[in-house]
Amino acid sequence: MIRPLAGPGADLLVLLVAGHFLADFLFQTRRTVEAKRLGFGYLRHGVVVFLVQLLAALPFVSPAFLVVLAGIAAAHVLVDRGKTSMSRRRPGSLTVFFVDQGIHLAVVVAGWWILLRIDGATSSLALSVRMVRDWVSVVVLAAAFSFNATGGSAIVEGVLEHLPLSGREPAAGSESPESPRLDTGYPGAGRLIGMLERTLMLVLVLFGQWAAAVLLLTAKSIARFEELKVRRFAEYYLVGTLTSLLVATAVGLVLGKALGGL
């Protein structure tokens, strides 16, 4: 169970932030992202943001909460439109990703602050403190794994943007750890491998299995032994893999502390 927080107001903030991560990294599909790039799909995503954050913060639902949450969802759509415009100029930019997420989180915090000033962290649901804490733990776990898998892909792709593989003929099967660029492999396999790798790494970190984490990195390197003989690809591969593992480790350490220690 998650460590006790400083009152129901803090629990509400955690749930709203976790709800944002769930909406953006679990329930926002690549099809939705592509639809927004083409100029539509914003309203659908706004509805998803509203419903997911409503479910995430269900223990604190109230009439005022619904009004504030609608404002958060509307602001989310406006921020996404701005991100789409920036992404056209700088596709795959890590800066755009972090600026976008920072603004989203600022909007969530502002909505939380307004809600506390209106009627505090109240709810029409008769739930015990233990039930609320258990709910917070479940939502935080789901949000952490979602960000680790999907958000981690965006971070790795942003880092690898600065290390293009162009300029040589790639070795057979030499796709990046995250990029869908393939010559003989399955389209999208690299991204999926990265997501599975970070998920497994996060589980190992939460259980303190550092030796197993080292074996994971070793096994993955053995699978790419032939490709790693090409220095350009080896550097590209190692940067992507180490970034991926760094994301999973950071998420695992933060989550472990939130859940009461590793």
Question: Quick check: is 188 in a domain?
Answer: yes
Task: Give the tens place of pLDDT for each residue, 79-90.
Answer: 998 888 777 777
On the 0-12 / 13-18 / 19+ scale of CB atoms within 10 A, 178 is: buried
Helix ranges, the chain (H): 8-25, 30-37, 42-56, 63-89, 94-119, 129-146, 152-160, 189-206, 210-223, 231-258
CB 72 within 8 A of CB 53: yes
Which of 72, 107, 127 lies at the terminal end of a domain, its last residue?
127
- Read off the pLDDT band of 215 (50, 70, 90): confident
Task: Give the tens place of pLDDT for each residue, 27-52.
Answer: 987 787 777 777 778 888 999 999 99
d(CA 91, CA 83): 10
Which of 127, 152, 172 lies at the terminal end of a domain, its last residue?
127
Task: Give the tens place of pLDDT for each residue, 121-180.
Answer: 776 677 777 888 889 999 999 999 999 999 999 999 999 888 876 544 343 333 445 544
Question: Quick check: is 1 in a domain?
Answer: no
DSSP code for 211: H
Tokens of 219: 């096994």
What is the pTM (predicted TM-score) of this model? Answer: 0.83
70 and 123 share one domain? yes
Q: Count of domains in the chain?
A: 2
72 and 21 share one domain? yes
Question: Quick check: is 55 in a domain?
Answer: yes
Which domain, by its residues, includes 192? 163-258
Percent of the chain with pLDDT over 90: 44
Q: Which residues contact 78 (CB under 8 A, 6 or more apart)?
A: none
User: Which range among 181-185, 189-193, 243-247 shows the weakest confidence by mean pLDDT?
Assistant: 181-185
103 and 175 share one domain? no
